[in-house]
Amino acid sequence: MKNLFSSDFKLGILGGGQLGKMMLYDTRKFDIQTYVLDPSDVAPSRIACDHFEQGSLMDFDTVYNFGKQVDVLTFEIETVNIEALEKLEQEGVQVFPQPSVLRNIQDKGVQKEFYKDNEIPTATFEKYAFAKAIPASSRSYPYIWKSCQGGYDGKGVAVIRKAEDLETLPEVPCIAEDMIPFKNELAVIVVRNVSGDVKTYPVVEMEFHPEANQVEYVICPARIDEKVAQKARAIAEKVSKAFSHVGLLAVEMFQTEDDEVLVNEVAPRPHNSGHYSIEGAFTNQFEQHLRAILDLPLGKTDSKVASVMVNLVGAEGHTGNVVYENIAEIMAMDGVTPHIYGKKETRPFRKMGHVTIVDEDLTKARAVAQEVKKKIRVIAQ
């Protein structure tokens, strides 16, 4: 077996945002040599990698030349040049998750057809060349419009309540999808290593703000019936098997009013819904991703304690040098750990960090999370 630890082995990571930064804690823990490529010269990952390069993730030559230097190449964001990854793979660089997986995920139309072809339960949909091509008769309002390309963090998604809503949408290939009245939004992270070993993490639940329709808390374990949890894990494993990915696959799902579980979308990388695992799980998602792509044995996915995760996003009306108001106050609460991503400038709704709250008792962790959410504000100086 190849010697990965304190050796000449080189791991490349496309993207230097917070996911890459958190992954680097674990490459450091294992003393694995890392190369990072990111378009920004102030990327959060800049510190803690061995070699940093500034450049476009969508440019063929940049990605190809970067990838040629390393033994294994991975990514922390899906919007990367797939052609370059395919060429690198052909030339012997190990690219995980594989470019073929990314091909089935990057385009949301292709991703939805992949579910249909593999008999994976998902909301009914149709593909269109552009939004105005969606006939008024096609489905009842409200329904969901999604851009096939480039959707991320809620961008490229819209709720269509009447025909006129289509008019302001960009002229890009898209899908129209039934809007699912759901009880819960759930997620399961599946990990698969090069040898084909597979493990699933416990089901997490996104708790929404009652009015704002925005995820407020990511809760592990989900407060759902054990049968539904088993079903969600089984479906996530089925999705994982269909993709045959190497690395993490975060599977986002809806639990419908009648306890069906439908796949919404997947991300082939560490995921916001898995951040709790740093404090909560026996093996955090970032270490697990490394174990998988380096073909090491997978770690235990169980939780040590219950967890609630709260995202820290920039407050509305604040742009400029960031201040985390009341951060000391939340650190005084039991089991609270803030994670600051290292972006110097805040903007409204920008993801600036997250806070994990852990406790043996989930109800207590949830109560503390509410206090955290009330206290801390991400504002500009």
Q: For residue 192, list its beta bridge partners.
A: 198, 247
- CA 47, CA 31: separation in Å to the nearest integer? 15
Residue 31 makes contact with a second copy by CB under 8 A: yes
Residue 156 makes contact with a second copy by CB under 8 A: no
Find where tokens 């190369």 sit.
35
Three-class DSSP category at 247:
strand
Is 177 annotated in some ligand binding site? yes
Residue 340 makes contact with a second copy by CB under 8 A: yes
Give the shortest CB-16-to-a second copy separation in angstroms.
Answer: 13
Give the shortest CB-362-to-a second copy separation in angstroms.
Answer: 14
CB of 52 or CB of 60, closer to a second copy: 52
Q: For residue 298, list its beta bridge partners.
A: none
Find where tokens 């102030």 sit.
42
**Buried b / exposed e along 56-84 (16+ C-beta atoms within 10 A):** ebeeeebbbebbeebbbbbbbbbbbbbeb
Query: Which of residues 40, 47, 244, 257 is near a second copy by CB under 8 A?
Result: 47
Query: Which of residues 147, 205, 342, 350 is near a second copy by CB under 8 A?
Result: 342
CB of 183 or CB of 347, closer to a second copy: 347
**Buried b / exposed e along 197-221 (16+ C-beta atoms within 10 A):** ebbbbbbbbbbeeeeeeebbbbbbb
Contacting range for a second copy; rule: CB under 8 A; set: 78-86, 111-119, 211-219, 330-338 = 330-338
Is 359 annotated in some ligand binding site? no
Q: How far is CA 352 from CA 98, 322, 323, 337, in A?
A: 29, 9, 10, 14
Contacting range for a second copy; rule: CB under 8 A; set: 81-89, 107-115, 144-152, 333-341 = 333-341
Site map 271..310 versus a second copy, x via CB under 8 A = -----------xx---x---x----xx-xx---xx-----
Site map 48..67 versus a second copy, x via CB under 8 A = xxx-----------------
CB of 90 or CB of 321, closer to a second copy: 321
For the chain, the maximum distance between any two Cα atoms, rounded to a whole number of angstroms, is: 62
Is 119 annotated in some ligand binding site? no
Residue 25 makes contact with a second copy by CB under 8 A: yes
- CA 178, CA 155: separation in Å to the nearest integer? 18
- By CB under 8 A, the residues from 236 to 275 that bind a second copy are none
Q: Contact 8/51 with Cβ under 8 angstroms?
A: no
Three-class DSSP category at 331:
helix
Contacting range for a second copy; rule: CB under 8 A; set: 66-74, 76-84, 342-350, 361-369 = 342-350
Is 171 annotated in some ligand binding site? no
Is 41 annotated in some ligand binding site? no
Q: How far is CA 340 from CA 323, 337, 361, in A?
A: 11, 10, 25
CB of 112 or CB of 354, closer to a second copy: 354
Is 219 annotated in some ligand binding site? no
347 exposed, middle or buried (CB, 10 Å; 0-12, 13-18, 19+)? middle
CB of 170 or CB of 320, closer to a second copy: 320
**Buried b / exposed e along 173-194 (16+ C-beta atoms within 10 A):** bbbbbbebebebbbbbbbbbbe
Residue 201 makes contact with a second copy by CB under 8 A: no
CB of 154 or CB of 320, closer to a second copy: 320
- CA 354, CA 351: separation in Å to the nearest integer? 8
| Residue stretches of the annotated binding site | 108, 146, 177-180, 185, 264-265
Site of interaction with a second copy (CB under 8 A): 1, 3, 5-7, 21, 24-25, 28-31, 47-50, 282-283, 287, 291, 296-297, 299-300, 304-305, 321-324, 327-329, 331-332, 334-344, 358, 381
| Residue stretches of the annotated binding site for ATP | 108, 146, 177-180, 185, 264-265
